[in-house]
Amino acid sequence: MIEKALKGKPAYWMWLAILGVFITIGAVCYLRQFFYGLGMTGMGRDLSWGLYISQFTFLVGVAAGGLMLVLPYYVHNYKAFGRITILGEFLAISAILMCLMFIMADIGQPLRGLNMMLYPTPNSMLFWDMVVLLGYLSLNIICGWVILTHERKQVKPPKWVYFFVYLSLPFAVSIHTVTAMLYMGLPGRHFWLTAITAPRFLASAFAAGPALIVLACLLMKRVANFDAGKEAINKVTTIIMYAAIINAFFVALEFFVGYYSQIPGHIHSLQYLFFGLEHHGEFYNNLVPFLWAFVLFCAAGLGLLAYGKIKDKLSDGLVGAACALIFLGLYLDKGLGFVLGGLVVTPLHEIVEYYPTANEIGITLGIWATGFFVLTLLYKIAIGVEHEVEG
């Protein structure tokens, strides 16, 4: 099947070449960091997690988001998703690859990474995160590949693969729950120390992941002659709407807890993220525009989808714009705000703001490009098979 990725129109190769340029930049930046140390990043003693971990957190969500396509198809036998479940599985593969790369970029002694397996430590959530991420990656590779090969031969997939398909459903939930648990169980980090972190992560994941798939579908409809079907897109957008609204509800609850209880620790991060925080005469508000963009983008995206559905005018352009807005909005919320907002007040009650360095951004772009590179190849294969079967 791999040969399907080796034939394509010039635009396909151009796209891969552009990604290749970013991958090269990322690789060079990473080598610099590898030989010089994490001092090349904007992280420091008081703010010791940054862009890498926040991207990791967001992308675990993108990977888990595939569940919203797999579950209706396999559990509820919702046939309209037949053409796109494979896209969910393949998105999960590339998103988890990005997650693993971000972790490797973030650790100070990458060559000792295997210590996680040589000295397994069940009381560490990071250990369990590794277990579920590697598990979910393998499950998606197995399910995606087996089902696609059988589709190509136009025979039913073997029974045993369904065991792995059903196993992948709780795994999808677990990857994001355990990722939330990395944050939820830390004493003294008030912004993260809330049980709603896990459900909030899942809600935003179930909006962001499918939104990216819808965008990919719309793009492939134009350039690769692949139609996911109107019913499928319609249903996915409904799922996205519910998930995004639930996420907004959870954020609102955070505001209630903070501002009604008036406990400073619960207010500080929200205050910093949305309004700016004053401390000893200085005003800190770097992330305020990003967080209001999150609110605005999500509201606009939801508004567009609602308008389209009520008036029955769901054009591709409208759906595309809405999904792009929602994806970007949720990225700003979880991919920037959640991690950096939780860190802004240090355990020693100082305010430390974070400025990623050019090298750090280079690595980040490189890893995103690598993920999209893998995603492009996988989607090319998936579409190639569908074309072959149909044509």
Partner 1 sequence: MDKQRRKFLKIAGATALAGVSAPAVVKLTSTPSLAASDHGAAAGHGDSHGEEQPTGIRYGMVIDMRKLYGKPELMDKAIEACHSVHNVPHFEDKKNEVKWIWKMPFENVFPDHSVYYSAKIKEENEYFALCNHCDHPPCVRVCPTKATFKMEATGIVAMDYHRCIGCRFCMMGCPYGARSFNWFDAKPNIKKYNPDFSARTRGVVEKCNFCAERLPLGKEPACVEALKDTGAIVFGDLNDPHSELRKILDKEPTIQRKPTLGTKPSIFYIV
Positions touching partner 1 (CB under 8 A) are 37-39, 41, 43-46, 48-49, 103, 106-110, 112-113, 115-127, 130, 138, 182-183, 185-189, 346-350
Decide whether 25 or 186 has the Cβ nearer to partner 1. 186
Tokens read off for 166: 């059903």
CB of 284 to partner 1, least distance (A): 16
Decide whether 90 or 102 has the Cβ nearer to partner 1. 102
Decide whether 40 or 251 has the Cβ nearer to partner 1. 40
Measured between alpha carbons, how far is 80 from 68 in angstroms, rounded to an integer? 13
Residue 77, CA distances (Å) to 69, 81, 85, 262, 356 in order = 11, 9, 12, 48, 46
Decide whether 56 or 373 has the Cβ nearer to partner 1. 56
CB of 119 to partner 1, least distance (A): 5
CB of 227 to partner 1, least distance (A): 33
Closest residue by Cα to residue 269 from 205, 209, 327, 197: 197
Decide whether 189 or 221 has the Cβ nearer to partner 1. 189
Decide whether 118 or 310 has the Cβ nearer to partner 1. 118
CB of 168 to partner 1, least distance (A): 17
Decide whether 119 or 260 has the Cβ nearer to partner 1. 119
CB of 53 to partner 1, least distance (A): 9
CB of 343 to partner 1, least distance (A): 8
CB of 256 to partner 1, least distance (A): 22
Closest residue by Cα to residue 61 from 194, 207, 243, 216: 207
